[in-house]
Chain A
Amino acid sequence: MKKWTEAIRASGTGASGTVILPIVVFAMLTALPAGAIDVPQPVLDAQQQRIDAIQRAIPSAVSIFANEGQGGGSGVVITPDGYALSNFHVTKPAGDYMQCSMADGQLYDAVIVSIDPTGDVALIKLLGRDDFPYATMGDSDQVRVGDWCFAVGNPFLLATDFQPTVTLGIVSGVNRYQPPAGTLLEYADCIQTDASINPGNSGGPLFDAQGDLIGINGRGSFEKRGRVNVGVGYAISINQIKNFLGYLHSGRIVDHATLGAIVSSDEDGRVIVTDVLESSDAYRRGLRYGAEILSFGGRPVTTVNGFKNTLGIFPRDWRVPLSFRLNGQRHDVYVRLMGVHGREELLTKAAGVPLPMPEPQPKPGPKKPRALPGQDPQQPPGDQPQPPHEDVPDVPLPKKIQPKPGRSPIPGHPGQREPSIPDHVRPWIKPRTGFANYYFNELHRDRVWNAFSAHGTFDELGETWTLRAAPAEGGEVRIELGDQRVTGRFTGQVGQVDLTRDLGEQLDPPGSGGLLVTLHLWQRMLRLGPLQFGDVYYLGTAPLPGYDGLYDVLVAVHDVVESHFFFQPDSGQLVAIEMFPDSGVDPCEVYFHDYREIDGRQWPHSLRVRHGERTVLELNLDEIHAAAKPDEAS
């Protein structure tokens, strides 16, 4: 009996002693007389499945070492061309550039792409390959408490041998809400696990039993036990990150959302609005003090945490369904989410303490600065690989050399300083105020525009376009887009815009929210393109109410008016424009349908105009006339 007890105890304390170990013990128990071990096949199958899942997952894990020797963390590659997720709090000390090791024993250069300081997410891009091993994203909404999961990462920066650490556990909770520090690092709708999440695991992947990516580890409840795991770690759900992924590719500093309302639970446990900003879209959609929140973002709301969870998974500017009850009446609306921060406020907070750009300044004293393995500080700058060509950014760079054997330096140790940004990495970094890395914004702005331009280019057209429709109810609608003015004749009313005056105050025809201005901006974008339109940047991807999927969004600012151009990601076609004449008012929304070719260009022949919750106008165009530029015509 003593032997058995010891055997069971040994199996019971094994870190990976999940289903497998106790069963092996059982096999030993019953097999003792016969002297043969017979492990049931289902057990072997389950064991093999776990081994396979871990083997499948490990190659995509990344260990991040921050340039300034301020530590590091983990990450996970999610595309073959090297885009990798991590935590904002991991990449922040690194700045624009960091070095990442993977289980293949290679050290890769990486640049920051975007940061989401509120959600504690960062997207980075590893350089040098277009065939990176990458993780498959799972569906974190399907994760159940009690499911097996495992974390892969760089706890305590142990991966100086480039081999990540695997820690196994179960899902302890889902839809957890962990409040922010101030307004940053909020973990909404996160996954709680008892897999060991320790300092250095931050930014690393949490996988399900199949080896699919379900979360990004980043936080734990520690309290009085110091900063080591107490069986309570939290991972940002991968479904939240999927919502943000378009934004995260934009090179921007991404903001989270607020409804513009404060909710709390009353004595009956209902979630009630206790304050609402009059400038918010929620207010314009009818949300008032005392309204009971019924569902939000497609989820029933039963607790304040549940409401915050839903709020936390959506980016700023998304339109999300909201159901509430006010004075006994149920309202089902879409609300446009506001930013948690003002733009300047977010920049300031994201910056936090100033991050000095790493410059090549050797430390005084006898100690030479030491580089991470694989990086030779003696290498002359001229010998660096050629930077990628501007318009083909994803050219794979030569692989870095193998790490040298011997003791690896541990980032964070005093006296060490990591190398400054290598020359071959510099083309990937484009600083610009308001952006984490403007390089990637340009990349996607151009991608979206080039895809749209495949349907025809409009830059050789003149400035006078005529749109004509004959509505079924009779009469004629005629819109003239000119270089000085825009005029529109509609059934029963006329409208015009003087383009030499403030566009935001000429919202003809009345009730449309500014259809003529919107069509002018449409023409301006088509003719001039994003580079000459004004200030145009790539927002990311966002939904359109009533439409499936997510759309690439370009934000274009011209003459104090901000407009959002929605492009269908597969076809590249322009689907909608939202024109905001001012903050705090409903935009004019124009939806473009029924594209047909005229003279080699795709033109929309159906326009649907919405303002607020109303469809103002539906136009089926019978005639579109746009002459070529006079000088080209001659």
Chain B
Amino acid sequence: MNLSFPMPTTSANRSRWSAAIGRSTRCVLAAVVLVGGWLTTAAPAADPTSFADVVDGVQPKMVKIFGAGGLRGLQAYQSGFLISPEGHVLTAWSYVLDTDLITVTLADGRRMQGQLVGADPRIEIAILKVPVEDVPYFSLDLAKDLDIGDRVLAFSNLFGVAMGDEPASVQHGNVAMKTQLAARRGAFETPYDGPVYVLDAMTNNPGAAGGALTNLRGELAGILGKELRSSLNNTWLNYAVPVDQLTDSVEAILAGRTLPRSVDDQTPKPAQPWTLALLGIRLVPNVLPNTPPFVDVVVSGSPAARVGVQPDDLILFVDGRVASSSQNLLDELTFIDRIDPLNLTIQRGIELLEITVTQGP
């Protein structure tokens, strides 16, 4: 597959996105030459244009993820793929991960519990870790950019059709558009506002979020997003987030910068940390093992009230670290000195808000 090609003429306008046209043309060229190669070498009965070999190369990197959900049309499954030989799994940040028991099924059918390494709700990704070694994986460093017109393959466990060692579903399509999802605000309800590949194939089905988008060589290009329906005309958007939008977050997550500090009992605690009372909020009653930290009451005149925290806000992050439950949030606060400002990432409806709370008036 390692072939070289003449570079096609490209224009001088090499903005970040348009420069990819040259690359995409190279991909097309690759396809041409590969087709030619297969025509001469493949068995006569086999279809030389089949993607079967490429698909076989990608499948071992795909995983199926099972977690919370299963009620009211919320599927308890989604997709993901391995991004390290030590079992780091990149997937979509969603309610499916909102449980202590996340089951990850590898392509060979091995089932294991996935530990949440961290998440970035702003780009709606999360990383899980499963206890394996030397597994096939996508290196994010080797990910490819795509351009309009590029042909792609989408791998996911849409509709949860695959169980155990059954392979992920594969769809084919083209990059129809590259755009900022922010331009769709008001139409598509999502906190992510960065660039996306819009696809002409119906890739973003239930359970497909977290799936892999590759080029025709099976090289990673993006992660399939959650289902997005336009509130204007009820149409669904099929899209993937380019890998280069993820790399900073993935690095931060892998470095442990998004983990709750409480997981490491060596971390020193301040003598006078933040408390909910000091913030001036009460959470909804903590009745479940994983009660999400929803704000129930905001005390008027309190630090939280001054910066506009409202009832029904969901606290996602405290100083960039995941607050996956009320207890988790309480624990996290004990690590933050009340003389320091407190950074909260809050979900209000579909909006993500970054709020900094300080003690003083």
Contacts and interface: CB of A to CB of B under 8 A. Distances in A.
Contact of B109 (A26, A172, A303): A303
Given A8-B149, A42-B32, A224 B73 contact: yes
Most chain A beta carbons < 10 A, residue from B21, B59, B163, B201: B163
B101 to A, nearest CB: 13
B161 interface: yes
Interface stretch (A228-236, A387-395, A609-617): A228-236
A428 B158 CA distance: 45
Contacts of A46: 35, 39, 48-49
Most chain B beta carbons < 10 A, residue from A33, A221, A231: A231
Nearest to B177: A9
B50 interface: yes
Interface in B46-70: 47-56, 59
A19 B36 CA distance: 12
Contact of B28 (A5, A23, A224, A303): A23
Interface string B10-41: 11010000100100110011011001100100
B20 to A, nearest CB: 11
Contacts of A306: 164, 166
B202 A230 contact: yes
Given A8-B149, A26-B29, A210-B47, A265 B164 contact: yes
B52 A232 contact: no
Contacts of A17: 174
Nearest to B50: A147
A192 to B, nearest CB: 6
B209 interface: no
Determine the interface band of chain B, counting residues with CB < 8 A from chain A: 35 or more
A13 B161 contact: no
B206 A223 contact: yes
Contacts of A265: 164
A302 B109 contact: yes
A386 interface: no
B6 to A, nearest CB: 8
A147 B161 contact: no
A1 B25 contact: no
A391 B177 CA distance: 64
Interface in B127-171: 147-151, 153, 158-159, 161-171
B355 interface: no
B55 A146 contact: yes
Contacts of B162: 173, 176
Contacts of B9: 29-30, 32-33
A318 interface: no
A173 B169 contact: yes
A466 B52 CA distance: 63
Nearest to A190: B161
Contacts of A178: 161
A12 interface: yes
Interface string A1-40: 1001100110111000111001101100110110000001
Contacts of A43: 32, 35
A216 B311 CA distance: 54
A146 B172 CA distance: 9
Contacts of B171: 169-170, 172, 194, 231
A8 B205 contact: no
A229 B171 CA distance: 13
Interface residues of A, number: 58
Nearest to A40: B32
A598 interface: no
B288 interface: no
A379 B103 CA distance: 67
Contacts, number: 180
A172 B170 contact: yes
A169 B149 CA distance: 17
Most chain A beta carbons < 10 A, residue from B49, B50, B148, B151: B49
Interface string A151-183: 000000000000000000111110111100000
A232 B158 contact: yes
Given A5-B21, A169-B172, A221 B161 contact: yes
B176 interface: yes
B306 interface: no
A65 interface: no
A225 interface: yes
B36 A209 contact: no
Given A43-B35, A209-B49, A210-B45, A12 B148 contact: yes
Contacts of B174: 12-13, 17
Nearest to A144: B52
B50 A221 contact: no
Contacts of A5: 18, 21, 148-149
A192 B205 CA distance: 14
Given A26-B25, A231-B203, A173 B166 contact: yes
A25 B54 CA distance: 23
A145 B48 contact: no
Contacts of A30: 8-9
A9 B197 CA distance: 13
A12 B151 contact: yes
Contacts of A23: 28, 31-32
B28 A9 contact: no
Nearest to A265: B164
Contacts of B236: 225
Nearest to B203: A231
Given A144-B56, A147-B51, 16 more contacts: A1-B11, A12-B176, A25-B28, A42-B35, A42-B36, A46-B49, A144-B50, A170-B170, A176-B162, A192-B169, A194-B201, A230-B202, A231-B202, A232-B202, A303-B164, A306-B166
28 contacts: A9-B149, A12-B148, A12-B150, A12-B151, A19-B31, A29-B25, A33-B9, A42-B35, A46-B35, A144-B50, A144-B55, A145-B56, A146-B50, A148-B50, A172-B170, A172-B171, A173-B161, A173-B167, A173-B170, A176-B161, A177-B163, A194-B171, A194-B172, A208-B47, A209-B50, A269-B164, A302-B164, A303-B163
Interface of B: 8-11, 13, 18, 21, 24-25, 28-29, 31-32, 35-36, 39, 45, 47-56, 59, 73, 109-111, 147-151, 153, 158-159, 161-172, 174-177, 200-203, 205-206, 236
The 7 closest A-B pairs by CB, nearest first: A8-B149, A231-B202, A146-B51, A12-B174, A12-B149, A303-B164, A146-B55
